């Protein structure tokens, strides 16, 4: 009888802990989903000048940046029609390295940054710190 009581207490504690973790995670998600980000940072980490840089939000709303110098970063306002932004596509061209594009989806926050950089094979790539949910 004592053993059964111990097992029931342990089971109750485990269920209580899992329920608490689930409810905490759910409230954290609801809190984050109620906040829309207002901007995203685009950084040119390559040694090349970029041209025709465009940022597309949710596959529809496009913001044209134009040319970006090496080392330059720009903070782009997300259009109201694109909020909440869940996908971002960054594309453009360079005279020396040709076209580049990167597509990201997930949780986009005010700290989200897309970085364009030059690979060893002299192609431009795009990486991002978008949180993939």
Q: Is the pLDDT of residue 29 over 50?
A: no
Strands 113-118 and 39-44 come out as parallel
Q: Is the pLDDT of residue 53 over 90?
A: yes
Residues 112/128, Cβ–Cβ less than 8 Å: yes
Q: Is the pLDDT of residue 25 over 60?
A: yes
Identify the helix (H) or strand (E) that includes residue 38.
Answer: none
Residues 115/68, Cβ–Cβ less than 8 Å: no
Question: pLDDT per residue over 83-131, tens digit each?
Answer: 888 889 999 999 888 899 999 888 887 788 999 998 888 889 898 888 7
User: CA-based diameter of the chain, in Å?
Assistant: 80
Question: pLDDT per residue over 33-51, tens digit each?
Answer: 555 678 889 999 999 999 9
State the distance between the two ends of the chain, measured CA to CA, in whole angstroms.
46
Structure-model confidence comparison of residues 14 and 44, the more confident one: 44
């Amino acid at each position: 009888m004592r053993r059964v009581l111990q097992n029931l207490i342990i089971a109750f504690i485990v269920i209580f802990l899992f329920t608490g973790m689930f409810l905490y995670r759910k409230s954290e998600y609801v809190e984050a989903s109620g906040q829309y980000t207002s901007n995203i940072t685009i950084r040119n980490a390559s040694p090349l000048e970029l041209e025709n840089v465009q940022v597309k939000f949710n596959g529809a709303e496009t913001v044209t940046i134009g040319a970006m110098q090496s080392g330059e970063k720009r903070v782009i306002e997300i259009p109201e029609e694109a909020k909440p932004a869940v996908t971002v596509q960054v594309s453009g061209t360079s005279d020396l390295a040709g076209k580049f594009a990167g597509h990201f989806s997930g949780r986009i926050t005010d700290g989200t940054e897309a970085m364009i950089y030059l690979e060893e094979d002299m192609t431009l790539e795009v990486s991002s710190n978008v949180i993939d949910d």
